[in-house]
Each structure stands twice: as C-alpha cells, then as structure tokens.
Copies of this chain bind each other. A is one copy, B any other.
Amino acid sequence: MARKRITPGKIRLAEVAKLAGVSPITASRFFRNPEALSAGKRARVESAAKELGYVPNLAARALASQRTEVIGVLIPSLTNNVFSDVLRGIYDALDGSRYSIQLANTRYSILQEERLLRLFLAQKPAGLIVTGINQTPDSRAIMETVDCPIVQIMEVGPSPIDMMIGFSHFDAAKAAIGHLLAQGYRRIGFLGARMDPRVQRRLDGYRAAMTDAALFDPQLIVTTAIPTSVTLGGTLFADLLAKAPDIDAVFCVNDDLALGALFECKRRHMAVPGQMAIVGFNDLEFMASSEPTLSSVRTNRYEMGRNAATMVIETLEGHRPAEAVVDLGFSVMERQSSARRG
C-alpha cells in the first residue's frame, strides 16, 4: 500500500547530509546559520552540497518553518514610471539576499489592496511593503496584528503601521509653488491627473501656497481622474488656458503632464519661459535635457525602494533601524522653464 513516491534524480538534504557524514538536521543548519556549525562540519557540508548541486526545496522549508522568505509588495500601478523606479530599488536591495519579491497591483483601489493583503498574509510573508498611508481601517487592523516588518512607502505621515519611508507631497508642492512665486509668477495654474491621495496632497500644498500669497483662484485648477500621459498634459493645459487665459505659469503634478504642456506651448508658439513658466514633479531624466530644460521637484524614488527593502531585511536580521520613519525629502530643481519672470 505504501506507494513510495520517490522522486528519481532529485537531491535532498538527506543525501547531502549522508555524503557529508552528518545528520540531516546539521546539514539543514548549514544553510540557515552556518556559524552554528564547527568549522570541520561546515566545510564538509559545503563541499557535499556543491558536489551534489543541492538546492533547498523552498516549499518544504516554508511548510516546516511556518514562514517564507518572500517580501510582499503592494503598489497601485505598474504603468506609472514612478513605481518602476521604486521597484528597481527594491529588487536591487534584495538581489543576492535570500529574500524574494511577491508583487501585486492594487490598481489604485484600497479595497483591492485589502483583498491582496489577506491573500499575502495567508502565505506568511517575511515582510511587507505597501504604498501610501491611506489603507482601509480593516487593512490597518490586519497589518497591525501581523508579526512581520511592514514599510509604508511613498509618503510620510503620522502613526505608521510599523515603518515608513517617503516625503511630504504637501511640502513638495508648496515648495514648487514657492519657487514660482519667488520667480515673480502670480497666476499659477495647477494640472492634475489621476487624483490619488498623494496627488491630492500636492493639490493641498498648491492651495496652501496660493492662499498664503492671497493668489488662490479655483479657476486656476484643472484636474481629471484619467491616468496621466504626455498627451493628456497637452489637453489639460489647453483646458486650463481656456478657463484662465491670463495664467503666467503652470504647476503639473508630474513630469509627463509638464512635457505635454511644453509641447502644447510650442504648438501655440508660446515662449517657455517668457510667456509661460512650467514646473513638473518627480524630475524624470528627460526634464534636464529637454529644450528648454524643465524645472521639477526631485524625489528619491529609487532610494525609497532600496531603503524600504533594506529596512525590512535589517529588521528580519534583528537590526531594526533606529528610525521607524524616514523622510527622504525632495528638492526643487530650478531650470530654464521657470526662469525669473520678465
């Protein structure tokens, strides 16, 4: 009745142990905590493993140890190149480590996020990286009871679930507007697409700066729920000009919109700067090499991803970072498109 589902060519830990002349459990320890072995056995297991080409079976490990070496990452979009920078940072930080990534796309829905969260947690991830600070109350509750490092990325705010890394979108937008005001611009428009919570806070920053300067006018704001694109930047800019033909500057919530606005200015033979100042957000690579060069708010997306992953790993290795909340800041890159007015 015993069917002995022996797998033919596969090398198991037991084989390695036998070749090395140790018990399986000692061989097991070699792969998880080599320091715990005496130098002699360590060398024997190592060479045995190499000789047999042994690769641990992660499923068995996960089942026996009741945890995985997978870090779950929840991001709202794969299209947005902001997230591809963050992801690159995460993957780079994990490269060569024992950990791997499980990526899921929430499509900007916090309900979807909650669903994915439950799915992830059922598999006992080693850690979790989630986007933003706007989770559903249930999501928050779940995450607060889970026993694994969690990093919220993209922005900072009060009461982190566990750890947090990002910057203040409110302050960043406010600083961008401050720059335009300092350069002498007064009728500053706002272009926004896909108004996710972070873009919303950039709008708040814009509103605060304009209100402080007694220049706020709702007519200057054009937003849409449509996902961003360069083409959309041109369209929204045209809409803005129709609503407020007297604008002298425009702040775009991302660089694609800014580029689209620039092209629209060119089509209308509107001088940038001169007749129109443009400031973008994110400081994608092309902003520095366009003609004219485009001002933008630089954010440290790659570093954000990299640090977030490092924070998770360090915590797992027992060296929890001293600071649970890291503000990476931003810098306003002042370029030709927002040169001093007049």
Which residues of chain B have C-beta atoms less than 8 A from A102's C-beta?
100
Copies in the complex: 2
User: B289 touching A260 by the CB < 8 A rule?
Assistant: yes
Category for how many chain A residues contact B? 35 or more
Q: In this assembly, does A191 line the interface, its C-beta being within 8 Å of a C-beta of chain B?
A: no
A32-70 vs B: 1/0 string, CB under 8 Å? 000000000000000000000001111110110010100
Q: Assess the B66–A7 pair: CB atoms within 8 A.
A: yes
Bound CA span A337–B140, Å: 51
Residue from the list B63, B87, B91, B105 in contact with A57, Cβ < 8 A: B63
Is A248 part of the contact surface with B, judged by Cβ < 8 Å? no
B78 touches A289 (CB 8 A): no
- Let me know if B290 and A263 touch, CB within 8 A: yes
A214 at the interface (CB under 8 A from B): no
Chain A 15-36 per-residue mask, 1 if CB under 8 angstroms from chain B, else 0: 0000000000000000000000
Chain A residues numbered 256-275 whose CB sits less than 8 Å from any CB in chain B: 256, 259-260, 263-264, 266-267
A103 within 8 A of B: yes
Q: Does A1 contact B (CB under 8 A)?
A: no
A282 to B332, CA, bound (A): 31
CB distance from A26 to the nearest CB of B (A): 20
Distance in angstroms between the alpha carbons of A60 and B66 in the assembled complex = 10
Query: Quick check: B101 and A103 within 8 Å, CB to CB?
Result: yes
| Measured CA separation A68–B63 after assembly (Å) | 13
Bound Cα distance A290, B63 (Å): 54
A53's nearest neighbour on chain B, judged by CB, is B118
Given contacts A78-B91, A100-B102, contact A286 B267 (CB under 8 A): no
Task: Specify which of B63, B88, B119 is in contact with A78 (CB 8 Å cutoff).
Answer: B88
Partner of A55, one of B122, B288, B291: B122
Check if B84 sits within 8 Å of A81, measured CB to CB.
Answer: yes
Chain B residues with CB under 8 Å of A66's CB are 7
Cα(A285)–Cα(B234), bound, Å = 13
Closest B residue to A284 by CB, please name it.
B230
Using a CB-CB cutoff of 8 Å, which residues 93-139 of chain A contact chain B? Answer: 95, 100-103, 105, 118-119, 122-123
Q: Shortest distance in angstroms between A305's beta carbon and chain B's nearest beta carbon?
A: 10
**Contact call A230/B81, Cβ cutoff below 8 A:** no
Query: Is A315's CB within 8 Å of the partner chain B?
Result: no
Q: A-B pairs with the 10 shortest C-beta distances?
A: A59-B62, A55-B122, A230-B286, A266-B291, A231-B289, A263-B291, A59-B63, A78-B88, A59-B59, A84-B84
> Mind listing 25 A-B residue pairs with CB under 8 Å?
A7-B66, A55-B118, A55-B119, A56-B122, A57-B63, A57-B123, A59-B60, A59-B62, A59-B68, A59-B123, A62-B62, A63-B63, A78-B84, A78-B88, A79-B84, A84-B84, A103-B103, A229-B285, A231-B288, A234-B289, A256-B286, A259-B286, A260-B286, A263-B290, A267-B291
